[in-house]
Amino acid sequence: MSVEKNKIDSNTLDALLFLSRLSPESTNMDILKAQVDQIVEYFDVLSEYDDNENPYDAYPSTTADKLRDDSAVSGVEMQNLKKMTPEFLDGYFRVPKVLGGGA
């Protein structure tokens, strides 16, 4: 890996300044260039460990025919709801008051 490969040119640095909305007058260009060079070097190190596998292979696809059937099942009957709680009246459950009225 050559050192020159990791260096960015002035056109690329100008484009980065434009994209980041920085001005050359308000930015220390030597520090910024050194920081960008370090970032590029880091990506070169990461690329050495690239395994060239498809990242989506880690998540197997599921076809619709392997999913469960979409069928309606009966729920709890009304007379059974009445047995579950004494707070059931006229088809509704009575619940504690959450929001108070204006006083």
d(CA 71, CA 86): 32
* 81 in Cβ contact with 42 (< 8 Å): no
Does 41 fall in a domain?
A: yes
- Full residue range of the structural domain in which residue 32 is found: 4-51
Contact 61, 51 (CB under 8 A): no
In this structure, is residue 42 part of a structural domain? yes
What is the count of structural domains for the chain? 1
Sequence length of the chain is 103
| CB distance 49 to 21 below 8 Å | no
Q: Does residue 93 form part of some domain?
A: no
pLDDT digits 0-9 by tens, 61-87: 777 777 777 788 888 887 787 787 778
In a domain, 22, yes or no: yes
Q: Could you tell me the sign of the dihedral formed by the alpha carbons of 14, 15, 17, 21, in that order?
A: positive
Q: 89 pairs with which residues across the strands?
A: 92
Does the residue 27 lie in any domain?
A: yes
- Residue 25 placed within a domain: yes
Write down the pLDDT at residue 3.
47
Q: Is 16 within the bounds of a domain?
A: yes
- Closest by CA to 17, choosing from 2, 3, 32, is 32
Which H/E stretch holds residue 9? none
Q: Is the pTM of this model over 0.75?
A: no
Does 101 map to a domain?
Answer: no
Whether pLDDT at 2 is above 80: no
